[in-house]
Amino acid sequence: MSDLLFTGGTIWTGHDVTHALSVRDGRVSALGDEAVRRGGSVIDLGGGFLMPAFGDGHAHPLFGGLEAQGPQIKPCGTVAEIVAEVGRYAAEHPELEWIVGGSYDPTIVPGGEFDARWLDEVVPDRPVVLRAYDYHTVWCNTPALERAGIDPDTPDPRLGWIVRRADGTPMGTLREWHACDLVLDLVPAKSLDDLVEGLAEAGRAMAAAGITWVQDAWVEPYMVPAYLEAERRGALRFRANLGFRADPDRWRDQRAEFTALRAQVDGHELVTANTVKFFADGVIEGGTAAMLEPYTDAPHSCGMPVWDPKALAEAVVAVDADGFQVHIHAIGDGGIRAALDAVALAVRTNERWDRRPVIAHTQLVDPADLARFAELGVIANFEPLWAQLDPLQTELSVPRLGQPRADLQYPMESLRASGAVLSFGSDWPVSSQEPLLGIQIATTRQTVGGSPPWTPDERLGLDDALRAYTWGVAYQAFAEDRRGTLAAGMDADLVWLGRDPREVEPLELRHVRVLGTWLGGTRVA
């Protein structure tokens, strides 16, 4: 690998700026005048901005990459458009036993309740299953319901709801784990080649956005060989830490499996497996996030905890004792309190170690719990793109929460000011993987159309938002001594932007172009 010399623009180290940076053997070798003296193949930044590459503290790369292998429904804005795209894809693929796709917008239908008969119009003879973009809901056609044996007499499973029509027949929308899995468990498995291509597609998307490290926050055992094979073939364009999903019904048996899989991954250059992922609850828009008080639009319901709080705490203590970082999806204030309580018990029970637990999404935090993040060393992971009054909020979340609680969502600045570490992510393919779009929302709390700022006191400064997408994610990855800032000896994970984001109007940040991405000194975009 030849030496590189970046010059001709602004180089932001994460702390200050300089005019040159050199790379040798995949590492930053020098900055400033010393870099110029060392020389190398010159990359002229053309007045642009070089900075540490972005990380993504919570995403689902394989799911996102695999969406390219099905009907392209994500851009569709109406039911008619989705149905037409599913019909087109099914007609072009008569060989497929199942039509599988993602991810549709649940806000385009009242309550997010989609009817199987709409899909039956274009695919009446094969099962169709589509994921909503929250990945907590599926929409399927009648053949899929029939294959799964879902009929008017089928009871709701323990963790899930079967949405029904007024006459009690299943509508075609299934919510949360056990309900969705009634259908998803029947879908034929992807081949290893398909999975590797899914990771390659994810890598193209991540590299184009300037991302070089990703926390895969939902890993099943079958995915591990795909990651390792993608790395072996040179098809993996990002570093990944695998977060194995703990199942509340069988987590005790999973402990040995997770430890064995970690050992299998150990020693690989791009892939680690140091984390176990828990889903504490569901999502507010589906009414399944765990709440301390009932939903405004459903006064009989406080949501659907995936784990009983005591069981969650027991499992977190055990996994923490096994030396895994815990990464807990917690969205409702009840889910977040249960997650904090579980971490607190692990801290009290187990030996002291550098555990760096993560609570992901951190959507609705009871004010009484804000200080606990810093006290317990919990990293607050946010998906900043969600912190805006978009249709997901105005049509679903705010009506379900009521205004006082709705205005407590995504307390980024409050947690930062309390001393908690923030990391940013995308939850891709749930939402866009582009960090610059997320940074725009985090710093403005406005929609891209320029709506009035929502909860403006929770806006972050630009430097803090950049830090959450760089150093904060590197800290989450136990890699802040290697990535997230630029200094001699650090990994040359770099992103070249067309403009200095510090000099761009906040509502224009999303338009700053990513001109290049380097992973360990090798250009990947």
Give residue for tokens 């947690």. Answer: 415
pLDDT digits (tens, 9 = 90+) for 352-365: 999 999 999 999 99
Stated pTM of the model: 0.93
Q: What mean pLDDT do residues 2-21 have?
A: 96
| Parent domain of 308 | 192-517
C-alpha 22/C-alpha 5 separation (Å) is 4
* Within-domain flag for 306: yes
Domain boundary among 138, 166, 184: 184
- Judged against a pLDDT cut of 90, whether residue 286 lies above it is answered with no
Instruction: Tell me the mean pLDDT in the region 372-376.
Output: 98
Tokens of 306: 């995936």
Average pLDDT, the chain: 96
CA–CA distance, 315 with 309 (Å, rounded to integer): 10
| d(C-alpha 55, C-alpha 476), whole Å | 10
CA 476/CA 335 separation, integer angstroms: 21
Same domain assignment for residues 200 and 108: no
**C-beta of residue 192 within 8 angstroms of C-beta of residue 173:** no
Give the pLDDT score at 74.
Answer: 93
- The answer to whether residue 84 sits within a structural domain is no
Do the domain assignments include residue 63?
Answer: no
Residues 158 and 293 in one domain: no
Query: Is the Cβ–Cβ distance between 384 and 442 less than 8 Å?
Result: yes
**pLDDT score at 176:** 87
Q: What is the CATH number of the domain that holds 389?
A: 3.20.20.140
| pLDDT value of residue 102 | 87
254-263 pLDDT per residue, tens = 999 999 999 9
- Total structural domains within the chain: 2
Q: Are residues 197 and 180 in the same domain?
A: no
Q: Quick check: 2 pLDDT over 80?
A: no
Most distant CA pair in the chain, distance: 78
Per-residue pLDDT reduced to its tens digit, 47-103: 999 999 999 999 999 999 999 999 999 999 999 999 999 999 999 999 999 999 988
Residue 5 belongs to a domain: no
Residue 273 falls within a domain, yes or no? yes
Give bridge partners of residue 140 from the DSSP assignment. Answer: 129
Do 176 and 199 lie in one domain? The reply is no
Instruction: Evaluate if residue 121 carries a pLDDT over 80.
Output: yes
Cα–Cα dist 199/195, whole Å: 6
Whether residue 113 is found in the same domain as residue 251: no
State the pLDDT at residue 123. 97
Statement to judge: residues 140 and 286 lie in one domain: no
Q: Do both 295 and 242 map to the same domain?
A: yes
Confidence of residue 133 (pLDDT cuts 50, 70, 90): confident
Do 165 and 282 sit in the same domain of this protein? no
- Residue 113 CA to residue 139 CA, distance in Å, equals 8
Q: Kindly state whether residue 360 falls inside one of the protein's structural domains.
A: yes
Could you report the per-residue pLDDT of 440-460, keeping only the tens digit for each? 999 999 999 999 999 999 999
Q: Pick from 127, 161, 184: which residue ends a domain? A: 184
Question: How large is the C-alpha radius of gyration of the chain?
Answer: 23
In a domain, 57, yes or no: no
Query: Which pLDDT band, with edges at 50, 70 and 90, does 1 fall under?
Result: low
Q: Is 172 in the same domain as 249?
A: no
- CATH number, domain of 180, equals 3.10.310.70
Whether residue 82 lies inside any domain: the answer is no
Alpha helices in 326-387, H assignment, sequence order: 333-349, 370-376
150 is written with which tokens?
């879902």
The answer to whether residues 468 and 323 belong to one domain is: yes
Query: Is there a single domain that holds both residue 339 and residue 404?
Result: yes
What digits encode the pLDDT tens for the residues 269-284?
A: 999 999 999 999 999 9
Show which of 184, 217, 239 is a domain's final residue: 184
Q: Please give the order of strands across the beta sheet that includes 99-104.
A: 99-104, 128-132, 137-140, 170-175, 161-164
Q: Are 245 and 389 in a shared domain?
A: yes
